[in-house]
Amino acid sequence: NQHAWSNSLVTTTDSFWNEKRKSKDVYAVSDESLRSRVALLITNRNFANERLTRKGAEKDEENMEKLLRSLGYEVVKHNDLTAQVLHTFAEHPKLRDTDSVFVVIMSHGKREFVLGVNHSEENKDEFPVDNIYRHLGPQECPALMNKPKIIIIQACRGETGGSVLVSDSASDKVVCDDIVDDAIRYVHKEKDFISLLSSTPDTVSYRREDLGSFLIQYIAEVFNTCSHEDDIDELFRKVMQRFEEFPDNTKRQMPTKDRCTLTKRFYLFPGH
């Protein structure tokens, strides 16, 4: 193993901070924006159907909250939710001044959905993963335009659902014929996102009841050890690399970077 993984955050040097801040290839981070960072952390542990209880999820919540706080994010925490919550987060007053957001969702899941705690076969309580991108995209959340939005989902994707991805074109406004194109500024409806999902489509994610899920453990170790010099893309690659040394020879899990639309590098600048 190339690293001795750190339990606490290694901080960025002044010279690294000054060098990267001047680069056009790096998302803007300022002293002010660092103080306005905000993250959403959703942990579903206790389900209406007790057989679905996610033992060990409280450890994931603790690890993730500690990491996000150490990176300077105010953590908006929710537990045991049904499928409605991103609306209110999209209106958080700090989003105007933050340089980035993390949205971390830990629950059971299917291929395109995260499950709410009231879920049963008869009474589906499902949150489409697609909605995360819509609620935080420029149309519904202009405060986050051009800012990195980092999505981490710890949930199985172990059943192929019958859902399909559809475009939002049905809701497009018709523009009058006499308006010339360049009078309107279009932004892409989904930009500046990067997501790490805990497994590839149709596969399960593993969790230990004493230590929590492997994904969250590895994220904490990699971010603590490397975020002072690696951008978010590279951090996620190192997390994925950890799964090549999976502790159980009979089981395999591979996280997936998904829907990455970052156009620059995003550094967390820990300790600044």
3-state secondary structure string across 202-221: CCCCCEECCCEEHHHHHHHH
**CA nearest to 223, candidates 71, 102, 105:** 71
* Distant-in-sequence, close-in-space partners of 26: CB < 8 Å, separation ≥ 6: 20, 231, 264, 265, 266, 267
Structure tokens at 74: 């105010």
156 as an active site residue: the answer is yes
Catalytic residue among 119, 135, 141, 156: 156
Euclidean distance between the first and the last CA atom of the chain, given in angstroms as a whole number: 29
108 as an active site residue: the answer is yes
**CA nearest to 141, candidates 107, 96, 183, 174:** 96
Question: Among the residues of the chain, which ranges form H helices?
Answer: 14-21, 31-35, 57-70, 86-89, 130-136, 214-226, 232-242
Catalytic machinery residues: 108, 156
